[in-house]
Amino acid sequence: MKKLSLLTCIGLITLWSCDSGSQIDEQAFLDSLQTAENNAPVISDEVLESILQQIPSPLEIAVLLKESGTNYDISLLNGTSQISSYNSNFKKALNLGVYGTDLGYTNIYEQNQDAFEYLTAIRDLAEGLSIGQFFDFGVIRRLATNSRNLDSLLLITTKNFNNINSSLQEQQRANLSVLLLTGGWLEALHIICQVTEKNMDNDELKERIGEQKIILENIMLLLSFYSESNLNIKELADRMAELQAQFDSIDITQTYAESTLEEVNGIVTISNNSTTTINITDDNVREISRITSSIRDYIID
Inter-CA distances, 240 with 162, 254, 293, Å: 26, 25, 11
Phi and psi, residue 114, nearest 5°: -65, -40
Q: Quick check: 14 pLDDT over 50?
A: no
Q: Quick check: 24 pLDDT over 90?
A: no
Q: What is the pLDDT of residue 16?
A: 31
Q: Where are the beta strands (DSSP E) in the chain?
A: 251-255, 260-264, 267-271, 275-279
Q: What is the pLDDT of residue 2?
A: 39
Residue 237 and residue 227 in contact, taking contact as beta carbons nearer than 8 Å: yes
Give percent above pLDDT 70 in the chain: 65
208-264 residue pLDDT tens: 999 999 889 989 988 998 898 899 999 999 999 999 999 999 998 878 788 887 776
Query: How many degrees, rounded to 5, is the angle at CA 111 between CA 105 and CA 117?
Result: 85
- pLDDT higher at 151 or 4: 151
What residues does each domain of the chain span?
Answer: 6-252+281-300
Closest CA relative to residue 135, chosen from 17, 21, 25: 17
Residue 5 and residue 160 in contact, taking contact as beta carbons nearer than 8 Å: no
DSSP-assigned letters across all residues of 229-294: T-HHHHHHHHHHHHHHHHHTTSEEEEE----EEEEETTEEEEE---EEEEE--HHHHHHHHHHHHH
Closest CA relative to residue 300, chosen from 217, 211, 176, 182: 182
Q: Quick check: 265 pLDDT over 50?
A: yes
- pLDDT higher at 32 or 132: 132
* 3-class state of residue 34 by DSSP: coil
- pLDDT higher at 142 or 104: 104
* Range from 5-9, 159-163, 231-235, 275-279 that averages highest in pLDDT: 231-235
Quote the CA–CA distance of 140 and 153 in Å, as a whole number.
8
Average pLDDT for the chain: 77
- Structure confidence at residue 145 as a pLDDT band (50, 70, 90): low
Residue 141 and residue 116 in contact, taking contact as beta carbons nearer than 8 Å: yes
Q: Quick check: 282 pLDDT over 90?
A: yes
**Is 90 exposed, middle or buried, given 0-12, 13-18 or 19+ CB atoms closer than 10 A?**
buried
Quote the CA–CA distance of 289 and 238 in Å, as a whole number.
17
153-169 residue pLDDT tens: 555 554 555 555 556 56
